[in-house]
Structure 1
Amino acid sequence: MPLLSQDELKELAAKCGLDRDTVQHDLRKYSSELVGYLGEHLRLHLKVTKRGEEKQVVLFVKCMPRFDVYKAQYLRDNGFFRKEFVLLSSLFSQFPEREGLKKWRPTLLHSREEVLVFEDITQAGYATSDCRKPFTHDETVAAVEAVAKFHAESVIYENKRSKQLERSYKIWEDFSEFLIEPATSQSWRDTGRNGVIDLVKIYSTYKDLKNFSTTAEEIITLLFEEATASMTPSSKYPNVVVHRDVWSNNVLFKTMPGGNKHALIVDYQTALYTNPALDLAALLFINTTKKFRNDFTRKMLDIYYYCLSNVLEGEGIDVSKFMGREELGAAYENSTVFGITQAALILPIANMPDEIKDKYCKSGDKNFDSVSRSHCFIESLVDQQYRDSILELFDDIVERYVLPAIDKY
């Protein structure tokens, strides 16, 4: 059975503004490199013939893996693909379709439960950055602005629905089933946590301190438990739909006239409904260096708040009624445990040398997902860039949380 029917292909051609007598198509692998774990990625080449004249368009297709049985079952068991389908087709479809610099995601052209078709934004000049390098300053600014635009849509939508219903409305009411972390994915997080503990015990700068191994294991376990608990609606801060995994493969950049970067965010399969600062903390810890965070975190929060304010004011909403700037700062501080632990889960995989990443990640691997990743991380440490970035992050965890507790154990 073809992935897309002739009727679907004709509908897509029409949405792309292509009149047609006949529609031909060609599906090709999107890239020889690993684009993402949570789906199969393809390019759809549509060729339309009208009175002998040919026109072509290239689209991006994301579907349930067709030839990797383990990975497809993993996605179904965790509900990741269904989550993105529901959010895109039922929630995000109610958000305004933004254009130009106001845009924060690619346009969805067609969807059904296990197939999503988008515009291919690489055709317009967007590209991911090198996943083994931190974002530049300009890339970080663009990503922060994209996150602010995305978060603003939740505020705008809830404000609109509250007026319609003449009562306070929250997205959680209708989409809670799709904005939680599935219990079935906990083993993936636990496996990543264990990898962090194993590497810290062996390779941390502070490994020879008295009581270090015992303290590190105890504290890091508690940090990951705290991070898991934070992935729910906050009772202290306002909530929005957050992406949760804003790392290099999920952000595409374009250099605009004048040199500024513009970013679009993709892949909403792990979205949550919670405090917006979780996205900012994860973004900064995953994609920037310790020095960058020390130097620029306050500036990035200012940029986020300014962009959020501009979008909301354009819809007649006072940003201070949603969240004050000081409140954002406090929320960010409360979200650093999530941000740093999320980075500790993502970076050791994202930064793997390509040959090792292909070896363990290209096809589904139950052992990698839910048994042990420590050997993969240790194998990758022969790469100096990997070693420097991962051990810097892990020692940041140690310095923030383990060392202050070491005398208690």
Structure 2
Amino acid sequence: MHSPILSSPTPPGELARRPGAALLRRTALFASATLLAACSTVLPPVQDRLPASRSAPLDPAGRTAVVTPQSSVAWQWADSQPLPEAIARGKSVWTPARWSELPGWGYDALHEAWNAWLRSCERPAPGFGPVCAEVRQLTLASAEEQHDWLMRRLQPYRLSAPAGETKGLLTGYYEPVMNASRLPNASFGVPLYRLPAGVKNGTPWYSRQEMERSPQARAALKGQEIAWLADPIDALLLQIQGSGRLNITEPDGSQRQVRLAYAGTNGQPYQSVARWLLDRKLISSGTWEAIRAWAQQNPSRVPEMLAANPRMVFFREEALGEFEARFGPRGAQGVALTPGRSIAVDRDSIPYGTPVWLRSAGPAAQIEKLVLAQDTGSAIVGAVRADYFTGWGDEAYTLAAGLKQPLELWALWPRSQ
């Protein structure tokens, strides 16, 4: 569940988020030799690579090219191959493309995407098993080797809607970090709940307002409190994002950081409180800042505003060790998200675990990079639609809140063998 674009009347996409296997590491030399042996039956042997020039061109963002069509034999080979047929997949059409058609290809620091790809390989997409074995072998390969391997092993497909539209929308989501108390007190009085016994996802239970008023609901929730926040708006934000990190003060006064992960909902429909406020002309923009300012000026009406969204999200607590703290929560694919390299997609258009080339240019960011489809959300609908995971904390929030800009996507799929 996520999306800081609160002015939208569509639900932000509450998700079930689900690192794992030890990474198989090799030296770059061993990785390259093994890869060539594995691929020799379907791809021509790799010729002597031409190193990228020291005076390689810069892209508009000032990045130096790692590979160019002139410097990469793999690029020349890949772009000379016959293109496969287009593919109709659910709500999308995949049209084969040349690597030279991918804006910014050759400039990306692919090693930054490799951790995200290794996460996806814990639960590989259908047909990606052999590819994932090679991904693991190339963990320590050079950027040029990784680029060359991608061009030889995968075929780009430009995504479009069935009607042919290739432009879509990119938004952002993040993992909030909040202070909390294990026990209620004068400063922390807003509870966050575990999933009550007997509540099943998809089956309507008590609404948010009924949970406040019904004795039966209150009895079911008693003892299910995980922690307490200071602000009901913080609790709402945590529920909309679907997970978060809590700096919890324990009863003995000690503090530690834990993660709250999505566990389920009360089965009620999501309604945007920003839309409720906008429709009544109580705020002029659907931002968290505007909502907080209104709530501070109208504390007596906050329960009324919250009741406009009948959906309640329940959580489970997860330990946040040194390794877990380097990644985000588990996405719908069941693997940990990587800041700047994980996206949420419409699963009817892009299978989980698919590597995707993403291009988006707008006021918040200029993005041309390799990302992995690892998450979803009920507001993430359509062929060219993605939510970009920005990480955690204030900087991640600022970027996520500002992302609402045009998007182009290319799925990278294994070549036929």
- TM-score, normalization: structure 2? 0.28
Structure number with higher helix proportion: 1
Question: What is the TM-score of this pair, normalised by structure 1?
Answer: 0.28
Q: Which of structures 1 and 2 has the bigger CA Rg? A: 2
Q: Which has the higher strand share?
A: 2
